[in-house]
Amino acid sequence: MAHIDVAVTGVGYSKHVSKRRDVNIAELVWEAVSNCYEDAGLKPKDIDAVVTGNMPAFEGVNMPELWGAGHWGAYHKPLIRITTGGTTGGSVAHAAYYAVASGLYDTVLAIAFEKQSDGNSTMGLNTVALADAAAQFQQGVDPGFLASFGGGAVGIAVYQAASYMKRSGCTTHHLDKVSALCRNNAALNPWSHLKQPGLTPEDVAKTVLMQYPIRFGHVCPATDGACAMILTTHEKALKLQNKPAYILSCASCSDEAALMGISGSGTTNMDPCAQEHCKLAAKWAYELAGIKDPRREIDVAEPYAPFAHQMLMFYERLLLCEEGEAPAILDSGSMNLDGELPVCPSGGVISTNAIGASAMERITEVALQIMGKAGERQVKKEVHKGVAHGWGGAVNLNVVAVLSDTPRRS
Amino acid sequence: MAEMEYKKETRSVEGSWPMEHWSWKFESIALISKTREAFKEKKLLGLKCPGCGLVYFPPKPYCRCMSEPDEWVEVKQQGTITTYTFTGAWAYEGIKEEEGPAGEPLIIVGVNFDGSDTLTVCTLGEAKPEEVFVGMRVQLKWPENIEGRLDDIAHVVPLRE
C-alpha cells in the first residue's frame, strides 16, 4: 500500500477554562490556530487543506467552520468538518493524516475545539440520543423514566465502571489515585483546565458521590478550548523541524451500543467495559505501525479518560498489559511521569475536556513528548513511540493513533 | 431534560421538537411491537439469529454478524445482573437540589435474561444499594396493569430461589 510518511510539524492550544466569555468561537479557535502557525513556522498560504471538527450541538451553533474559515486561514482551500462525538478530535486528526498519507495534499491543518459555555452540552447530548429515544417514547417508555437511567456521558460511564471494577479487581481507591495522578500532572501543563497540585487520593474520596461508583472528583470538567495541529510530509517536515514526530498509523473501530440497542432492542454488547473494538483498533494500529510488542515498544500513553476508571480500562484495552493488571501497574508507580510507561502526562481528559478537541489533544500531547517539547510535563524517560486514543459515547467508536520519532519506512 | 440555563450575557431562543409526529417505518418497531403484545400474556419473546445463534431480547432486525434474526424464542423471566449503579447526592448540573436526595437511591441494573444474549436496563427494587453485585440473580416484576409497553419489563427484584 502506497503510504507517504506523515509528520506533525506544529501544535497549538488556546487557553482552556470553563467559560471563555472574552472571545467567541472563531476567536477562541484562532488562538490555537495562530499558536500552531507560529510553532510550525508556517503561514495560511502554506496550507493545502483544512480539516476541522467539534460537536455543534454542544454550542448550539451549526456549521461553525463557515463562520471560522476566515479566522483560520481556510479561504480558497479544501475544507471539511467532522463530528464523531467524543472521538471528534481523533477523527479530525485521522482525516488530516489520510489526506497527507494518500499523497492528495502535502500540508494539512487539523483543528478541533469545543466552547461548551456557549450552549448546553447536556441538551446537545439529548439531541444525539433523540432518534432512538423518540422511537422508545412511542412504544410506551416514559421520558422521565428513560432519563432516570442516567443522563449524558456520566450515565454511560458508571455502568462501565461497575463492570470494570468487578472484572479487574479495581477498587474505589484506585479511582481516587487516578484522579490524583492526572490532576497533579495537569498542574504542570500550562494549557490544562483543572490544575490541582498536591491533590491526594484521600481528597478525591471526600468528594460527593454522583452515581455509584463515580464521585465528583472522578469526572472531567466542562471546558472551553481549542487545539490545532499541522501535518506534512517527511521531506517538508525536515526543512521546518530538527525533530518532528511522525504519525505511524491510525485505526478506528465501531461497535454496537453498550447499554441499549436501537429503538429499545437489546444489545449483545453486554459488558460495557469489554471495549472489544478498542482492542481491535489498537491491534490494527500497532500492526500498521510495525509494532509487535506494544508493552515493550510504547513509551508513553494518552488514553481518552474523562472518568477515572477509563484510564485503567483503556490502558488494558490498548493492549499495554493483560486484562485486570492495570490497577496493580498504577500501584507500582509505572504510570507516573517518572515511571516505565507514563500515562496521561498532560493531565488527561479528566483534567481538561473541551469535548471535540480532547481526542486530538491526546495525539498532540504524544507528539510533544516525542519532540521533547512538553516542558514541565515532559516524562523522564526517553520517548520514541507513543499511543493516543479516543472514545466516543454510547455508540462506542474507538480511535487509536501510533506516533514515533522515526518515520515508518526508515 | 435539564431546564435551559438562561445566561445573563447571552440570549436564549425557545424551541421544541414535535416528536409525537415522527413516524417510524423500520422493522425494529414492528418486531418490538410483537414482543410488547406478548407481554400481555406475561411472555418474553426474543429473536434468534440463524447465522450465529445469538438471541436478541427485545428483538432486533439485524445481528452483529450481519445476518437477519428470524426465529422467535421464549426468553426466561429470570436473569443475571451484568452491571449496576445507584444514584448519589444530587449535586451536579442538570438535577435540582430540591428533587433529592429524598427517599431511597434509585438502583439501575443491566440485566441479561436467561435464554437471551443481550443486556437490557432495568431498575432493581426490594434491595439496598450495598446488596447489589455483578452476577446477582434477579427476576422480572410485572406491573399490576400490563399494557404492552416497553417499560412493562423495566423492573426486576432479587430472585428468591
Q: Does A145 sit within 8 Å of B91, measured CB to CB?
A: no
Nearest to A239 by CA among A107, A105, A386: A107
> DSSP readout, B68-119?
---EEEEEPSEEEEEEEEEB----STTS-GGG-S-SSPPEEEEEEETT---B
Residue at A95: amino acid letter: A
Phi, psi of B78 (to 5 degrees): -105, 155
Other Cβ atoms less than 10 A from the Cβ of A373: the count is 13
Least confident span in A95-109, B91-105, B118-132: B91-105
pLDDT at B2: 43
Type of residue found at A6: V
In contact, A247 and A289? CB cutoff 8 Å: no
- Per-residue confidence (pLDDT) for residue A137, from 0 to 100: 78
Judging contacts by C-beta atoms under 8 Å, the chain B residues touching residue A141 are 149-151, 154
Chain B contacts of A148, Cβ < 8 Å?
106, 108, 123
Q: What domains can you pick out in chain A, each with its CATH number?
A: 6-119+220-404 (3.40.47.10)
Question: What's the pLDDT tens digit per position in B11-37?
Answer: 677 877 777 777 766 667 788 889 999
Give the per-residue pLDDT at B8.
62
Number of H helices, E strands in chain A: 15, 11
Q: How many domains does chain B have?
A: 1
Measure the CA–CA gap between A255 and A265, rounded to whole angstroms: 15
- A210 near B CB under 8 A: yes
Of residues B106, B109, B107, the one with CA closest to residue B82:
B109
pLDDT along chain A (410 residues), means of 10: 86 96 94 97 96 93 90 92 94 97 96 93 78 76 68 73 94 98 98 97 91 91 97 96 94 86 79 92 97 98 97 98 98 98 98 97 98 98 98 84 88
In a domain, B84, yes or no: yes
Which of A145, A150, A134, A162 lies closest to B94, judged by CA? A150
pLDDT given at position A2: 58
Q: Please count the CA atoms within 13 angstroms of the CA of B132 that sit on its side-chain side.
A: 26
Please answer yes or no on whether A263 and B32 come within 8 Å at the CB atom: yes
| Residue B117 C-alpha from the chain's centroid | 15
For residue B15, tell me if it sits in a domain: no
What is the tens place of the pLDDT at every residue in A320-371? 999 999 999 999 999 999 999 999 999 999 999 999 999 999 999 999 999 9
Whether the pLDDT of residue B83 is over 60: the answer is: yes
Beta-carbon pairs below 8 A across chains A and B: 165
Instruction: Answer whether A400's CB lies under 8 Å from A295's CB.
Output: no
DSSP string covering A342-359: -B-TT--TTT---HHHHH
Of B9, B58, B106, the CB nearest to A265: B58
**Chain A hits for B25, Cβ within 8 Å:** none
Query: Which carries the bigger pLDDT value, residue B89 or residue B21?
Result: B21
| Whether A170 contacts chain B with CB within 8 A | no
Determine the pLDDT at residue A149: 63
The conformation of residue B150, written as its DSSP 8-state character, comes to G
Residue B86, pLDDT above cutoff 70: yes
Element of type H or E holding A354:
none
Q: What backbone torsions phi and psi does residue B138 show, to the nearest 5 degrees? A: -135, 165
pLDDT of residue A290: 95
Q: Where is average pLDDT lowest: A394-408, B86-100, B104-118? A: B86-100
Is A212 close to B119, i.e. CB distance below 8 A? no
Check residue A3 and give its pLDDT.
76
pLDDT for residue A410 = 47
Query: Residue A407 corresponds to which cell in the numbers above?
Result: 518515520
Average pLDDT over residues B123-127: 93
Residues of chain B with C-beta less than 8 angstroms from the C-beta of A218: none
Q: Which residues are CB-contacts of B101 (< 8 A; sequence separation ≥ 6)?
A: B87, B88, B89, B90
Q: How many CB atoms lie within 10 A of CB B133?
A: 10
Residue appearing with cell numbers 471528534? A88
In a domain, B7, yes or no: no
All three cell numbers of A140: 410506551
Sign of the CA dihedral with A124 first, then A129, A131, and A136 last:
negative
pLDDT in tens, A10-38: 999 999 999 998 999 999 999 999 999 99
Residue B93 has what pLDDT? Answer: 43
- Could you tell me the maximum CA-CA distance found in chain B, to the nearest angstrom? 60
Residue closest to B45 by CA, chosen among B77, B14, B68: B77
What end-to-end distance do the CA atoms of chain B give, in Å? Answer: 39
**Structural domain for B82, as ranges:** 24-158
- Nearest Cα of chain B lies from the Cα of A265 at a distance, in angstroms, of 4
